[in-house]
Amino acid sequence: MTLSPGECQRLHVLMLLESGKATAAKAAEVLGVTPRHLRRLRAKLRRWGPPALVHGNRGRPSPHALPQALRARVVTLARGRYTGLNDVHLTEKLTAVEGLGVSRATVRRLLRAAGLRSPRRRRPPRHRSRRPRRAQAGLLLQLDGSPFAWFGARGPACSLLAAIDDATGTVLAACFRAEEDAAGYLWLLRKIARTAGLPAAVYTDRHSIFVRTDPHWSVAEQLAGAQAPTQVGRALRALGIRHIPAASPQAKGRIERLWGTLQDRLVAELRLAGVSTLAAGNAFLAAPFLPAFNAQFAVPAAVATSGYRPVPRGWDLDRICAFHYPRQVAADNTVRISDQVLQLLPGPGRRGYAKASADVVQCLDGAWRVYVHDRLVATTPAPPDPGQLRARKRGRGPSSGGEDIFTEQLGGHFH
């Protein structure tokens, strides 16, 4: 049996002691043992020779080693049911679902020995100065969308829209949409207002859903010195929420890191739950995924007092978080939105509204409302399936007809 370097050093000192070239006291000091133990070593060396200095546990299996059957099961699950999970996520599933009490370090060692790498490649981080979190929850929200194969090959391609609180990292709301669109962000704003309150500001990219990117300026806009806002921009103004457009993806790093986490964990959770449709995915987000995700990853704010403002009494969030179109009532008391014609009912004393300026509103459930002088004068019931709502074309002004001048861009946004 081959001696280790330490055992070779011990043999060398004992041989010097045996040859009289070193004293017992000096040999014990060099080896770091007591004189009594030194005598034991000399006796073993004289009786069995150098192999007696080898530790008795050399070559024996560790009493703390995992059973071979357990090691094989971990590797089998990692290659089978839990394919694609990272080491930490896999360890959580092995403990909570499979009842296997193994540590992350053990799982990592077993997977690497079996030739299984983590699906996420982690590069050494570059030095950056991170912007500190806001002190209070509700001072800043980050909104964004991520097109991704969230359902794998089982379901349709779609985008996930989400809002994360900058102070706590809490995902306040999220929804799957066929594409990143204005209706999805309006739904997020309404959901946040109803559940948490109104934030002070939101941080987004410069997608045309939030910021006008077309070169057209109407006469009214030229006189006002500013372009009319987008549908989402109008809702933010109505809610009293400041909009901060980011100059780069790195500027809204918290929600960009959220996409990396969700593309790793949420995809696996959807697969394990057998979810393959947008409707089922939205239900899965509401419960159980987001509550469990926030409980695990959210952090307390530096200041416990919430910065969310309550929605003032009397505000109609369904009207605010909707699509608005200025129109002029025709002589037959109708307003037209593309191919949609809405008939206005008579006013008090059978008064008509011809030539009046109207605010035509399409709610997120697909229902239509018409307001004249802030008075509701026409409604339509919500259709059974409103489909994918889109911002319709804007007209020249409040007229009921006329040539359309531009369409809000609602295409997908890639990171």
pLDDT tens digits, one per residue of 64-113: 788 889 999 999 999 999 998 999 999 999 999 999 989 999 999 999 99
Question: Does residue 221 register a pLDDT over 50?
Answer: yes
Specify the pLDDT at position 111: 93
> Band of the pLDDT at 128, cuts 50, 70, 90?
low
Return the domain boundaries, the chain.
5-53, 68-113, 141-218+240-297, 322-410
Fold of 141-218+240-297: Nucleotidyltransferase; domain 5 (3.30.420)
Span 167-173, average pLDDT:
97
Question: Does residue 288 register a pLDDT over 90?
Answer: yes
Mean pLDDT of the chain: 88
The reply to whether omega before 288 is within 30° of 0 (cis) is yes
Specify the pLDDT at position 48: 86
d(CA 107, CA 104): 5
Angle of helix 87-96 relative to helix 104-113, nearest 10 degrees, comes to 110
d(CA 284, CA 269): 9
Question: Does residue 395 register a pLDDT over 60?
Answer: no
Span 386-414, average pLDDT:
48
Sheet of strand 323-328: strand arrangement = 323-328, 357-362, 368-372, 375-379
Specify the pLDDT at position 200: 96
CB atoms within 10 A of CB 93: 18
Tens digit of pLDDT for each residue in 303-324?
999 999 999 999 999 999 999 9
H runs (alpha helix) in 176-311: 182-195, 219-224, 231-239, 253-273, 278-284, 290-297
More confident residue, 131 or 133: 133
Write down the pTM of the prediction.
0.74
Question: Does residue 125 register a pLDDT over 80?
Answer: no
| Amino acid sitting at position 29 | E
Angle of helix 35-48 relative to helix 5-18, nearest 10 degrees, comes to 90
Query: In a 3-state reduction of DSSP, which class is residue 410?
Result: coil
CA 370 to chain centre: 37
Span 32-51, average pLDDT:
89
Question: Does residue 194 register a pLDDT over 80?
Answer: yes
| Amino acid sitting at position 190 | R
